[in-house]
Amino acid sequence: MAGREDGARQWMTGAGEHAGWAAELLDHLRPAGRDVRRVVTWLASAAHAAVSLQDGTGRLLAGTRARLDEDLVADLTSGRIASAALEDRGRHLRLVRVERVHPATAAVLAVAREAPFDRRASDIVTHTAQVVELLLAGHESTAAGHRLRRATSDLRLAILQLLMVEDTVSARRVAAGLWPGLLDTEEACVYVVESRAEERDDLAEECLSATGERALVVRCPAMDGHVIVLTPGDAAGEELRSLVGRLPGVFLGGSARQSLARTATAYGQAVSALAVARFRPDKAAVYAERTRPERLMDPAALHAWTVRLLSPLDVLPHHTRAELLATTRLGLEFTAVNTAKILGVSRNTVRARMDRVESLLRTDFTDLTVRATVHLALNAQAALAEHPVGGGAARSGPACLDELLAGAALRTWADGLLGRLEPDARNLRRTLRTWIAVGGNAERAAQPLGVHAQTVREHVRSAEPVLERELLAAGSDLYEVVLAHLAAGDLDRPSLYGTKPGHPDSPVHG
């Protein structure tokens, strides 16, 4: 038995004799050639031997499996000896301990050949063991780094998902360990940064670098090209704008400031703003830059109507009600598949929760006017939970949707928005109205219009930049346009069923 050389002897001692194999071995340390298996294969060829690299449990890491004495392997991996040389049934065997960063137990490089080991073969084995050690250390460090980054990324997503279902207490508790103070705030903004899907990982790193530890940066689980950034401060927003400005093909949508409990609402706003950003020269837009229809409604009437419309859910336990409302709010914004990815549940769970809400409200979510009005109620409910209507403004009696939509400010807004479509000779307003009335189905809209379904889609797509809203993807943008049609009198009011005091089974229209 012999200890490993202390390393004082230099690699290129006897350079003239060993320059050939040493140069070949060093090539394996170049970035393009760092592969332990290739090094072991090279050693087998250079030493005219059978080579095995295995860990302390006997797992083969590279080369061909060899029968080794278990006690000898244990002595090597435990560090009691550094190397061993022996002859076994006509085989000449060299075993060398190879240190590892992770796991703690070392590996064993075993080289067996028929001829005795001369100085050249011994030197090749010794130096190859050093190269293998370096490569294993680099690989394991890289792998550990990847695992750490993946775990951190998963943790960021988990925090976002907790915020999406309004569980701010748990979100703060999870975030406190790694990002102290990040969620020590009542309000935050959500930004969505968009790039091509294949560039998303690089974009996420750019966002992390730009915002440092002052923001929650998450790779969107639903949209492959999106990075979600939640930030309590304004500085991160400016840094993201600057980042987007210098990166081609990258766009930024931002929300208005919302409480952490309304993260789902803020996310929807950011996605809506992103649709506007695609038409902006600076490639960035913020949702607060445009008027929201609910802000043009009488707050007291909106509060009374919302409470009445959502009253069938009041019989549920608080946590169940909150879960159903949060899921439905997102489910009205996105597809069931994407909602499931955002919340970290199955799409069947999303559909089951929304079906339950649909059943309790006794309505039909395939009707776009129903979806728009329920979406309005859900957002108003979340907003009013934070900023309750004052006692002086509270109403004693119920309100109806007709009353909400009859306000002069809302009617002016609706006429101004839809009026943008009038100059187009294709009568985009009629196409859009017909398309909404049949649930956003181009084939069904094409029949009364007497055109092809593709023409309907082209008209709707043409209306998007004019209205600065994304219409073909259901969400806040589309629901605002639906509300504008309702306020302008272009569509029939939806039939929504709630509960009137004293008349639990009576229908309530609007």
3-state SS, 409-465, equals HHHHHHHHHHHCCCCCCCCHHHHHHHHHHCCCCHHHHHHHHCCCHHHHHHHHHHHHH
Q: pLDDT category, 127, cuts 50, 70, 90?
A: confident
- Residues 66, 49: contact at Cβ < 8 Å? no
Residues in the chain: 510
Closest CA to 382 of 475, 317, 302, 320: 302
Structure-block tokens of residue 224: 């492959």
Query: Assign residue 449 a region: left if phi > 0, alpha if psi is -120 to 50, beta otherwise?
Result: alpha
Q: Say which residue, 34 or 84, is predicted with more confidence.
A: 84
Residue 24: predicted pLDDT: 66
The stretch 17-34 carries a mean pLDDT of 63
Stated as kind and residue range, the H or E segment containing 262 is none
Q: Out of 126-140, 269-283, 296-310, 445-459, which region has the weakest mean confidence (pLDDT)?
A: 126-140
- Residues 464, 435: contact at Cβ < 8 Å? no
Residues 6+ apart with CB under 8 A from 33: 27
DSSP-based three-state secondary structure for 229: strand
Residues 6+ apart with CB under 8 A from 247: 195, 203, 206
> In whole angstroms, what is the distance from residue 156 CA to residue 216 CA?
7
> In whole angstroms, what is the distance from residue 383 CA to residue 377 CA?
10
Closest CA to 265 of 336, 348, 333, 314: 333
pLDDT of residue 112 exceeding 70 = yes
The stretch 398-413 carries a mean pLDDT of 86
Read off the DSSP letter of residue 182.
T
DSSP symbols for 301-349: HHHHHHHHHTGGGGGS-HHHHHHHHHHHHHHHHS-HHHHHHHHTS-HHH
> In whole angstroms, what is the distance from residue 230 CA to residue 190 CA?
4
How far is Cα of residue 380 from the mean position of the Cα atoms in its chain?
26
Cα-based angle 425, 486, 490 (whole degrees, multiple of 5): 40
Residue 299: predicted pLDDT: 87
Paired strand residues for 93: 86, 112
Residue 9: predicted pLDDT: 43
In percent, the amount of the chain with pLDDT more than 90 equals: 34
Residue 174: predicted pLDDT: 86
pLDDT of residue 6 exceeding 50 = no
pLDDT in tens, 302-355: 988 998 999 999 999 988 998 899 899 989 988 899 999 888 899 999 999 999
Phi, psi of 57 (to 5 degrees): -90, 0
Q: What is the mean pLDDT of the chain?
A: 83
Q: Out of 69-73, 113-117, 167-171, which region has the weakest mean confidence (pLDDT)?
A: 69-73
Cα-based angle 431, 471, 243 (whole degrees, multiple of 5): 145
The stretch 269-277 carries a mean pLDDT of 86
> In whole angstroms, what is the distance from residue 448 CA to residue 456 CA?
11
Residue 428: predicted pLDDT: 94
Residue 99: predicted pLDDT: 80
Query: Assign residue 111 a region: left if phi > 0, alpha if psi is -120 to 50, beta otherwise?
Result: beta
Q: Say which residue, 358 or 74, is predicted with more confidence.
A: 358
The stretch 42-52 carries a mean pLDDT of 87
Q: pLDDT category, 479, cuts 50, 70, 90?
A: very high
pLDDT in tens, 53-69: 888 777 888 888 888 88
Structure-block tokens of residue 6: 């202390």
Q: Say which residue, 143 or 267, is predicted with more confidence.
A: 267
Cα-based angle 244, 249, 253 (whole degrees, multiple of 5): 50
Q: Say which residue, 166 or 495, is predicted with more confidence.
A: 166
Q: Out of 14-18, 171-175, 386-390, which region has the weakest mean confidence (pLDDT)?
A: 14-18
pLDDT in tens, 418-446: 999 999 999 999 999 999 999 999 999 99
Q: Which residue has the tokens 């796991």?
A: 103
The stretch 28-39 carries a mean pLDDT of 71
Q: Half-sphere exposure of 420 toward its Cβ, with a 13 Å CA cutoff?
A: 17
- Residues 213, 239: contact at Cβ < 8 Å? no
The stretch 159-186 carries a mean pLDDT of 87
Q: Say which residue, 304 or 10, is predicted with more confidence.
A: 304
Q: Tell me how far CA of residue 98 lies from CA of 22, 83, 132, 138, 252, in angstroms.
A: 19, 9, 7, 13, 50
pLDDT in tens, 488-509: 999 998 877 543 333 333 333 3
> In whole angstroms, what is the distance from residue 265 CA to residue 201 CA?
25
